[in-house]
Amino acid sequence: MPEEVFRPQLGEPHHHAYVVEDIEAAVNRLADQFGAGPFFLIENVPVENVISRGEPAEFAHHSAFGQCGDAAIEVMQAVSLAPERVANAFSGPLPRLQHVGYVVPPPEVEALRGALDERGLTQYLSIRVGGAETTMHDARETLGHDLEIHADNDALRDFFAMVRAAADDWDGSDPLRPVET
C-alpha cells in the first residue's frame, strides 16, 4: 500500500489582502471600479506579542476590511516593519496581493503551521490580535504571495459578519468608515 501523503488542509480562503500606498485612494478605486465596500478602517492595528522567528519584531500598519462580491478583502498600509525579513514581505510594487488568509479550527492550527514550515513555507511573523494568534508564512516563491493563518475565534467571525452585513444593501456612500469601538 502506498504511503499516505499529508496535504495541509487550508480550506476555503477567508480573505485576500492587498498592500497599498494609500488606503483611502485604494478604497475609492475599489468602490468605483468594483462596487466593493464599504470598508472599515482600523488605524494602527492593535497587534501584540509581535515575533519574527523568535525575536521581537515590528508590524505597525493600518488595515481596512470590506466585501467585493462574495469575497472579503483587506487593504493594508505599512507604517513600520522590522526586521528586514518582515519588511521584505511587504515591499515591492504597490498595490499588490500580499497574502491570502485562512481560518483554521484551533485543534488543527498548530499542526498546519508546522506542516507549512516543514514544506518550506516558513513562518516569518507571529502576532496576537484580540487574543488570537495569527501567523504569516512565506509562500511568495510558490504562489507569489504569503499565507496568513488564523485560529478560528468568535471575535474574528463577528467582525467579518459585520463587514459582510454592511455590504448587503450598501448604497455606495461613505466607502471608508472608522471601526466603531
Residue 77 included in any domain? yes
**Stronger pLDDT, 144 or 180, i.e. the higher one:** 144
Residue 149 included in any domain? yes
As a whole number of angstroms, the distance between CA 108 and CA 137 comes to: 16
Residue 44 included in any domain? yes
Residue 10 included in any domain? no
The DSSP letter of residue 90 is T
Note the pLDDT tens digit of each residue in 49-66. Answer: 999 999 999 999 999 999
Residue 80 included in any domain? yes
Residue 118 included in any domain? yes
Per the CB < 8 A criterion, the answer to whether 156 and 125 are in contact is no
Note the pLDDT tens digit of each residue in 63-119. Answer: 999 999 999 999 999 999 999 999 999 999 999 999 999 999 988 999 999 999 999
Is 176's pLDDT higher than 90? Answer: yes
Indicate the number of domains in the chain.
1
Buried b (16+ CB within 10 A) or exposed e, 135-167: bbbbbbeeeebbbbbbbbbeebeebbeebeebb
Residue 6 included in any domain? no
In terms of residue numbers, what domain contains 37? 15-168
**Domain at 107, CATH number:** 3.10.180.10
Cell matching residue 38: 464599504
Residue 8 included in any domain? no
Helices (H), the chain: 23-34, 84-89, 106-118, 140-143, 154-168
Per the CB < 8 A criterion, the answer to whether 17 and 148 are in contact is yes
